[in-house]
Amino acid sequence: MLSEKFSGVLDVFKTKAPTLIGVDVASTSIKLVELSEVGKGSYRLDRYAIEPLAKDTVQDGNIANLDQVSDALKRAWKRLGSRNRNIALALPAAMVITKKIIVPSGQKEEELELTVEAEANQYIPFALDEVNLDFQILGAAPNNPDEVEVLIAASRKEKVEDRVAIAEAAGLKPRVMDVESYATQEAFRLITPSLPANGRDQNIAYVDIGAHITHFYVLRNGQFLFSRDQAFGGNQLTHDIQRAFNLSPEEAESAKKNQGLPENYDNDVLQPFMETLALEITRALQFFFTSTSYNQVDQIVLAGGCAQLPGLDELVAKRAGVATVIANPFASMQVSDRIRPRQLAADAPMLTIAAGLAMRGFG
């Protein structure tokens, strides 16, 4: 555990915490997941909740209306029905600066903090008193046994403090502040058991389709090889519905969720949107191939709110020429009897980050 002076509340690399509820604050909803450990390396999904957010209360990861978001978080926690108030939150990767450095090994914690602080001054474009800073020793340096590799993570304090504020206003206790990409990486480990050969020694493209941004990652054996953000997401489908049927944004969003649209919706709106989304994914694959030494992806995993669009997985598989599945971080878990299986199947692709955050409560 890092000193309070040094790490503040950016406990990105904290390895053990109380059992945590994972809280994903996205642009259109708040998602909560509570897990329990039922055996070594085995988990159960006890509860989850999804609470919609009013339009523009969260913009590009920034919380624009603290009161509305904290109220939504309070409603979500009440709906969850848990007594646990310990939570893990995450910042968008764009709000966090990470850097690997090499330092001499064998330093005491106080010495290492001073070394990291001095190194961080070179890479962080803000005064250190304006940021929350954390670090983790990754292991021996590749070419020198007398040195270690250290990963630094830093974020502007106000970005961290906004998320802490909404949690505390909702009566909850933020114990860990993670990074969404790291939470995704943790959730990916929950998904791999359901992949062929457990995903071992394969390049897996993980596509998280958000409201405004699609996050595209390629992982191999649980480690990131590549990441890219595409400015395209589920809100584009809402805009297409608005234009096609002369609806307000609220009417279009409601009709999209409740399937209350004319018969020509599938052919005139949904299919063109899915074709464009599949094209964006194939473009991201090409960026991966041209930016790395790899020329193959073995599997595509779709996550996020649009992952369950009927036929999207088949269309992406056809356009990309790669087997495609829908993410379910709970596929290998026990599930509480209070959870309806059909509803969970529909919601699971949206719960990956919250599930990854909930995993921070286990060693």
Q: What are the residue ranges of CATH 3.30.420.40 in the chain?
A: 4-93+158-183+352-361, 194-332
Beta-bridged to residue 156, according to DSSP, are 131
How confident is the prediction along the chain (363 residues), in pLDDT tens digits per residue? 233 333 445 565 555 557 999 999 999 999 999 999 998 889 999 999 999 999 889 998 899 999 999 999 999 999 999 999 999 999 999 999 888 888 888 888 888 888 888 888 888 888 888 999 888 888 898 888 889 998 888 999 999 999 999 999 999 999 999 999 999 999 999 999 999 999 999 999 999 999 999 999 999 999 999 999 999 999 999 999 999 999 888 888 888 877 778 889 999 999 999 999 999 999 999 999 999 999 999 999 999 999 999 999 999 999 999 999 999 999 999 999 999 999 999 999 999 999 999 999 986
Query: Per CATH, which fold does 94-156 belong to?
Result: Dna Ligase; domain 1 (3.30.1490)
How is the beta sheet containing 96-104 ordered, strand by strand? 96-104, 144-156, 131-141
Query: Per CATH, which fold does 4-93+158-183+352-361 belong to?
Result: Nucleotidyltransferase; domain 5 (3.30.420)
Encoded amino acid at 10, one letter: L
Q: What are the residue ranges of CATH 3.30.1490.300 in the chain?
A: 94-156
Strand boundaries in the chain, DSSP class E: 21-25, 29-39, 42-52, 58-59, 62-63, 86-91, 96-104, 131-141, 144-156, 173-179, 203-209, 214-220, 223-230, 299-304, 324-326, 334-335
Whole-angstrom Cα distance, residue 338 to residue 18? 23
- Phi and psi angles of residue 67, each rounded to the nearest 5 degrees, phi first: -65, -45
Superfamily of domain 194-332, CATH level 4: ATPase, nucleotide binding domain (3.30.420.40)
Contact 33, 339 (CB under 8 A): no
**60: number of Cβ within 10 Å:** 11
Contact 240, 308 (CB under 8 A): no
What's the token pair of residue 108? 């005491």
The pTM for the full model equals 0.90
Contact 151, 13 (CB under 8 A): yes
Whole-angstrom Cα distance, residue 19 to residue 217? 28
